[in-house]
Amino acid sequence: MRKIAAFFLCFTFMFVFTMPVIAQTYKTEQRSKAIHVVYDDSASMIVDDKNDNIEANDEYLDRWCQAKYAMEVFAAMLEEKDTMRVYFMSEFHPEIGGNIDHPARIVISGSAPAVERVNKIHNDPPTYSFGTPFDPVVKAYNDLRNTAADTKWLVVLTDGDFDRFKEKKVGEKPDEIPPIDVDAYLSQFVKESDVNIIFLAMGEDAKKIKDDPNGNIYFEHAKNNDEILEKITLICNRIFNRNKLKFTNQNRYEFSFDIPMTELLVFAQGPGVKVNGINGGKTFTSETVNVRYSEKATTNPMYNNSKVVVSKGLTGTVTTFRNVPNIPKGSYSLELTSTGSQIVEIYYKPVVNVDIKLLKNGKEVKKQDIEEGRYKINFGIVNENGDFSKSPSKLLEEVDYKAEVQNGDRSFKINNGDTVKLNSGDAAIKVSAHFLEINTAENSITRKILPPKPFKERFLDWIHDYWYIFWPLVCLLLAILLWWLLWGRKKRFPKYMSKKPVITIENESGSRIDSHSGSLKIVKKTKWLPLCPEKGTIIAYADGRLPSLKVKALGNGQMELTNTSSFTPDSLHGIDFFINEQPVPEGSTRNKIMSCTAQIKSIYYNAGVETTHICSFAKKGKKRRK
């Protein structure tokens, strides 16, 4: 029982101080976007005026309808921290009361309900169509670069045929007026700011600009109504960091993903199309908004409003699915209904968390204030448990990392796993993970680097940092000490001592005439007290005339008679007392040391009759020692 208790105590110490630490959880903050849209509501978006005579021309266009449809989709896809502003070109033309510093006509906040956002575009009253000034592009840009958003986008929806700025002088022919160099303006915009520009030209003969993705200028050309959805989708994916998810079964709209998602967005187009939900064992929150063609074109008395072309094929729904904390990885399918053919696309925003860890001697350092020295820096995408993932998902494709350390006056790039020397002062480490061409996840940490500490403080820090090694070791040593106190150094009576020895009574001739049971009673409290030797009482004679033997265990098969002085001449009157055939000197006060198998013999004289009591505490088969 004592061994079991000691083992359990040792195990408890080990378990308590080596319990695992709960893993850290991560989340990604949504980045804000400012989107400034320049909408060309000029007559050229409605009528192809080839002969400079709108009234005589009967070729009407649907570019205006495509542009308004694009803006409805943009509004539907806004996120909570996003803001969208729309600048109408007609409000900047001086000949119809406009001015070059006109504010945005429509301002939409991503925090508003999706239906409200889309209705702001759809229900906006018609404007007066007149000219294509470049001033709203400049105004939208100037407002945008002064906006405190994380990412900024200038989107121009036009046929690209801008009016000239320069006023015609007397005698100057129209062909002598230099055209606007749009490429030069846009290049200057991105050069002097952090603005990204998307230019969507509409129509077969729309004016083109230079496409420069490396310079944050993106040009798209929708030649006709059939191409507008593809271009709108591409632009939305670029602005909103959305990526298309392939169906595993197109006919059943089945899909799957192997990493969690922050959201899924379903863009369904077709007559009567409706997205009812996602099948997959869970119910997700959703928000649906209809996007459709507008019948409210700009007005102009020079053209026939009854001939305005409306693209009634531009209709659909944008449904966003979310879950708290995210949509878990797994296999799902869309549930939808439609009255005709439909085009359905699904886009995903993966949960991508980038973490940075400092390591010292193989141990992660989480403290803000650390001592200067060499540290290994690990970074990468982590899973939901906060562990680095070597291959997070095929959906992320190739991940490109960029990492930089700023330490005092030093600034240098690093690779994952590099060991760097951090000097005293402030240190900042920033890591960005670029994936799926248009997606970026970032993280950064800052540390205060302290000068080297004295040895005493470094030793205490070492104990603090390596408690998971130190405390189990201490507990093990305590358990060993406890075991040693109870079993190693404690003096105990050997197990071969009989607790009920036989007392043999013989007559003078040595013949056995009777027998009785003696006893060895151990004092209970001495069994458990550490280092305290066991003590006991021995009764080795049958008549009770002699005092009992008080003994103490000495180890190595020996014990000590602690009440030798009790055997006085008075107590031994008429009795001879022997231990291992040796008499105890009468009146002795020195304790007697003897073996635990000693033979106790007492000879009684009564009226000339001699009786001998003999008692040995060795169990049968154990050789008696002196």
167 vs 40, residue with greater confidence: 40
Question: What's residue 60's pLDDT?
Answer: 87
- pLDDT reading at 624 higher than 70: no
CA distance 440 to 402: 11
33-350 sits in which CATH class?
Answer: alpha beta
Question: Phi/psi of residue 191, each to 5°?
Answer: -70, -35
Average pLDDT over residues 239-266: 90
Label residue 441 by pLDDT band (50, 70, 90).
confident
Average pLDDT over residues 554-573: 85
7 vs 402, residue with greater confidence: 402
Question: Phi/psi of residue 34, each to 5°?
Answer: -115, 125
100 vs 448, residue with greater confidence: 448
Question: What's residue 622's pLDDT?
Answer: 58
% of the chain surpassing 70 pLDDT: 89
Label residue 173 by pLDDT band (50, 70, 90).
low
Residue 451 is classified by DSSP as: P
CA distance 269 to 253: 14
The region of weakest confidence among 92-96, 154-158, 169-173, 326-330 is 169-173
Label residue 439 by pLDDT band (50, 70, 90).
confident
267 vs 487, residue with greater confidence: 267
pTM higher than 0.85 for the full model? no
206 vs 470, residue with greater confidence: 206
Q: How are beta strands 83-88 and 33-39 bridged, if at all?
A: parallel
494 vs 453, residue with greater confidence: 494
Edge-to-edge strands, sheet with 419-422: 363-365, 353-360, 373-382, 419-422
Domain with CATH 2.60.40.1930 in the chain: 353-468
Question: What's residue 30's pLDDT?
Answer: 65
What the block records as the tokens of 11 is: 């195990």
- pLDDT reading at 10 higher than 50: no
Average pLDDT over residues 48-61: 66
Residues belonging to the chain? 626
Question: What's residue 17's pLDDT?
Answer: 36
Q: How are beta strands 33-39 and 151-158 bridged, if at all?
A: parallel
Question: What's residue 27's pLDDT?
Answer: 37
State the Cα angle at 329 between 390 and 353, rounded to 5°. Answer: 45
Contacts of 302 (CB under 8 A, 6+ apart): 43, 54, 55
Label residue 429 by pLDDT band (50, 70, 90).
very high
| Tens-digit pLDDT profile for residues 109-167 | 999 999 999 999 999 999 988 888 899 999 999 999 999 999 999 999 998 778 765 44
Question: What's residue 7's pLDDT?
Answer: 46
Give the three-class secondary structure for 377: strand
Label residue 425 by pLDDT band (50, 70, 90).
very high
Average pLDDT over residues 411-425: 94
| Tens-digit pLDDT profile for residues 345-379 | 898 888 888 999 999 988 899 888 898 999 999 99
CA distance 135 to 138: 5
Edge-to-edge strands, sheet with 575-579: 512-517, 502-506, 609-616, 599-606, 575-579, 582-583
Domain with CATH 3.40.50.410 in the chain: 33-350
Average pLDDT over residues 314-327: 90
What the block records as the tokens of 400 is: 């490109």
- pLDDT reading at 588 higher than 60: yes
Question: What's residue 52's pLDDT?
Answer: 54
Label residue 586 by pLDDT band (50, 70, 90).
low
Question: What's residue 19's pLDDT?
Answer: 35
Superfamily of chain region 353-468: Macroglobulin (MG2) domain (2.60.40.1930)
Q: How far is CA 98 from the centre of its chain?
A: 53
- pLDDT reading at 504 higher than 70: yes
Average pLDDT over residues 528-551: 88
CA distance 607 to 603: 13
Average pLDDT over residues 217-246: 86
Give the three-class secondary structure for 185: helix
Q: DSSP letter string over 13-24?
A: HHHHTTPPPPPP
Average pLDDT over residues 315-339: 90
The region of weakest confidence among 10-24, 404-418, 580-594 is 10-24
274 vs 607, residue with greater confidence: 274
Question: What's residue 177's pLDDT?
Answer: 57
What the block records as the tokens of 514 is: 């009777």
| Tens-digit pLDDT profile for residues 477-495 | 888 887 777 666 788 899 8
Question: What's residue 16's pLDDT?
Answer: 37
Average pLDDT over residues 266-272: 83
List the one residue out of 108, 345, 120, 119 whose CA is nearest residue 232.
345
Q: Residue 477 is inside which H or E element, if any? A: helix 467-483
